[in-house]
Amino acid sequence: MKNSLIILAALAVMGMTGTPAIASDAPDGAKIFKKKCGMCHKIDKKKVGPAVKAMNQDAEMLRSVIVNGKKMMPKYSGKLSAEEIDAVVTYIKEQQK
C-alpha cells in the first residue's frame, strides 16, 4: 500500500508539472483509470460512458477520444501526459482481451 501511495504522489506531481518526474517510473494505467475514469467508465458495465469492453478496439481511436474528448467525455490533453495516456490505452486494451 505504501508503494502505491508513492506512485500516486508521483503521478500527482507529474500531472502538475507536465513532465515525468522519473523516466523509469512508468505510469500505471490501472491506477490512472481508477482515479480519473472510474467515475464514468466500468470495465464491463455501462455507466456514464461506455463499458471498457464495449469501447473501440483500435488504440489510435481510443487515444484520440481521450486526448480530444467527445460530447460528455472530457478531454485529457494537458491533464494527462502522453505517457499516462499511453498507459491508460494499454490498460484498456488489456481489459478488452
**Residue 49 sits in the site that holds ligand HEC (CB under 6 A):** yes
Out of 7, 25, 26, 50, name the contact with ligand HEC by CB under 6 A.
Answer: 50
**Residue 28 sits in the site that holds ligand HEC (CB under 6 A):** no
Q: Which stretch binds ligand HEC (CB under 6 A): 1-9, 10-18, 19-27, 39-47?
A: 39-47
| Among 82, 70, 86, 64, CA closest to 19 | 82
**Residue 14 sits in the site that holds ligand HEC (CB under 6 A):** no
**Residue 55 sits in the site that holds ligand HEC (CB under 6 A):** yes
Q: Cα separation of 90 and 65, whole Å?
A: 14
- For residue 10, what are the CA distances in angstroms to 18, 19, 67? 12, 11, 21
Compute the radius of gyration of the chain from its Cα atoms: 13
**Residue 39 sits in the site that holds ligand HEC (CB under 6 A):** yes
**Scanning the structure block, which residue is given the C-alpha cell 466500468?**
42
20 versus 27: smaller Cβ distance to ligand HEC: 27
